[in-house]
């Protein structure tokens, strides 16, 4: 295999998580009787441009189909994050009724609902029918399609180019990152702005966040690599924000390469942090497998210890990262009888691979467990606040990334 960006041969392994089904391919009861499709979940790093990428991948339409069950609006914290961003960018870019905003991978309208409320013309581009329909029901215009250069050129010819293109947690999800980047350039107005949010590779490596690796994530991104990719299509990064979302993310601000805006000091600072952390040294990547294995082993040891002691452990959050963790560790319902999730689209289904049933959080009130394992550790404070009533029953909460912690 060659690098998806620079086409250099890929020789260096980052981590091997064996084989797993797509992390968002939740199963119905009937599907439990059918064969389940598994794909290799191996990640390599390019020693030339330092793009970290899945070794093999399924077709995108296999991963993002009409039954896609991830709805962004389920998390109240993520809704607040989106609203704060919209308020900030409206002021920063002087957006108004004469502006045009496009969000790529607009999901269920979690963000563009704010643009509609502000009367700022906008368009969502979303390939999954389930989430796109949820957005349309809120009055948000959505085009159901995968974004790339061809679609962007068609949109630019048929309508206005965008003053702002938003891509939250999508840049890492595209198999052809070069085509996607050329699409960004084609759709962007000469004076326009692009913002892209993605989990920061630096945090993934530093904190051992191997559970954020799954088939829907084709790439794992540093600021340096994103700058290189965007530069190759005539775009440039002029600013960057460090965010706490998803365990540590970046929001890059980009524009056309000939735009007068110059790179901020924050861009230089984060690039320097990446270099200091060893993101351009092979040993940083080749030693990561040990971190993943320790987290897996610690979780297994904890669950077995609780089972021997007669303490019941259940999970909260049927998140993709949880599926990566559970499948790599080989955990089944004998150790975790069920997982609670607030998303109605997931309730009554089963986790891919592990086949752990997904139930509504209300189950916890009727039968409080001794321990709740929070799989989406990035929102653990939000979850613990929602489940604070369990404290009176003596329930304890556990997260395992970056290290096993019981509170």
Is 40 within a domain?
no
Same domain for 223 and 309?
no
pLDDT surpassing 90 at residue 65: no
pLDDT surpassing 80 at residue 24: yes
The 10s digit of each residue's pLDDT in 117-136 is: 999 999 999 998 989 999 99
The 10s digit of each residue's pLDDT in 142-194 is: 999 999 999 999 999 999 999 999 999 999 999 999 999 999 999 999 999 99
Same domain for 247 and 308?
no
Determine how β-strand 12-20 pairs with β-strand 39-45. antiparallel
Is 294 within a domain?
yes
DSSP-derived letter for residue 48 is T
Same domain for 278 and 294?
no
Is 23 within a domain?
no
Provide the β-strand partners of residue 53. Answer: 44, 219
Same domain for 279 and 293?
no
Do the beta carbons of residue 53 and residue 46 sit within 8 Å? yes
**Residue for token pair 């390939």:** 127
* CA dist., res. 330 & res. 203, Å (int): 25
Same domain for 277 and 301?
no
The 10s digit of each residue's pLDDT in 300-346 is: 999 999 999 999 999 999 999 999 999 999 999 999 999 999 989 89
Domain of 392 in residue numbering reads as 289-406
Last residue of a domain, one of 285, 305, 325: 285
To the question of pTM greater than 0.75 for the whole model, the response is yes
Please tell me which residue, 61 or 307, carries the higher pLDDT value.
Answer: 307
Q: What is the mean pLDDT of residues 380-407?
A: 95
* CA dist., res. 259 & res. 394, Å (int): 58
Q: What is the mean pLDDT of residues 193-197?
A: 98
* Enclosing H/E stretch for 235: strand 235-243
Same domain for 272 and 167?
yes
Report how many domains make up the chain: 2
The 10s digit of each residue's pLDDT in 208-265 is: 999 999 988 999 999 999 999 999 999 999 999 999 988 899 999 999 999 999 999 9
Burial class (CB in 10 A: 0-12, 13-18, 19+), 127: buried
* Helix axis angle, 320-329 to 288-308, nearest 10°: 80
């Amino acid at each position: 295999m060659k690098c998806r960006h620079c086409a250099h041969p890929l020789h260096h392994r980052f981590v091997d998580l064996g084989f797993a089904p797509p992390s968002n391919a939740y199963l119905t009861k009937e599907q439990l009787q059918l064969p389940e499709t598994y794909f290799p979940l191996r990640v390599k790093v390019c020693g030339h441009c330092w793009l970290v990428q899945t070794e093999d991948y399924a077709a995108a339409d296999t991963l993002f189909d009409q039954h896609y069950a991830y709805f962004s609006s389920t998390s109240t914290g993520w809704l607040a994050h989106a609203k704060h961003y919209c308020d900030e960018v409206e002021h920063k870019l002087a957006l108004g009724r004469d502006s045009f905003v496009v969000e790529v991978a607009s999901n269920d309208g979690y963000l563009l609902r704010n643009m509609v409320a502000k009367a700022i013309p906008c368009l969502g581009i979303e390939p999954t029918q389930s989430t796109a329909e949820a957005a349309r029901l809120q009055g948000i215009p959505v085009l159901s399609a995968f974004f790339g250069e061809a679609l962007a050129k068609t949109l630019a010819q048929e309508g206005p180019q965008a003053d702002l293109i938003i891509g939250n947690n999508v840049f890492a999800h595209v198999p052809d990152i070069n085509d996607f980047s050329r699409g960004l350039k084609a759709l962007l107005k000469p004076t326009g702005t692009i913002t892209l949010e993605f989990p920061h590779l630096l945090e993934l490596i530093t904190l051992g966040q191997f559970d954020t690796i799954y088939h829907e994530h084709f790439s794992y991104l540093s600021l340096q690599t994103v700058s290189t990719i965007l530069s190759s299509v005539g775009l440039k990064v002029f600013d960057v924000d460090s965010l706490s979302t998803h365990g540590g993310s970046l929001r890059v601000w980009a524009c056309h390469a000939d735009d007068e805006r110059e790179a901020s000091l924050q861009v230089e600072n984060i690039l320097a942090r990446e270099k200091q952390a060893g993101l351009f040294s092979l040993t940083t990547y080749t030693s990561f497998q040990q971190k993943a294995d320790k987290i897996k082993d610690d979780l297994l040891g904890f669950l077995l210890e609780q089972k021997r002691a007669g303490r019941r452990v259940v999970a909260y959050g049927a998140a993709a990262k949880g599926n990566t963790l559970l499948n790599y560790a080989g955990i089944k319902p004998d150790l975790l009888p069920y997982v609670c999730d607030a998303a109605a689209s997931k309730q009554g289904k089963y986790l891919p691979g592990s086949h752990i049933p997904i139930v509504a959080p209300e189950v916890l009130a009727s039968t409080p467990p001794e321990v709740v394992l929070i799989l989406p550790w990035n929102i653990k404070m939000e979850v613990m606040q929602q489940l604070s009533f369990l404290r009176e029953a003596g329930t304890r909460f556990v997260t395992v990334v970056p290290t096993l912690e019981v509170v």
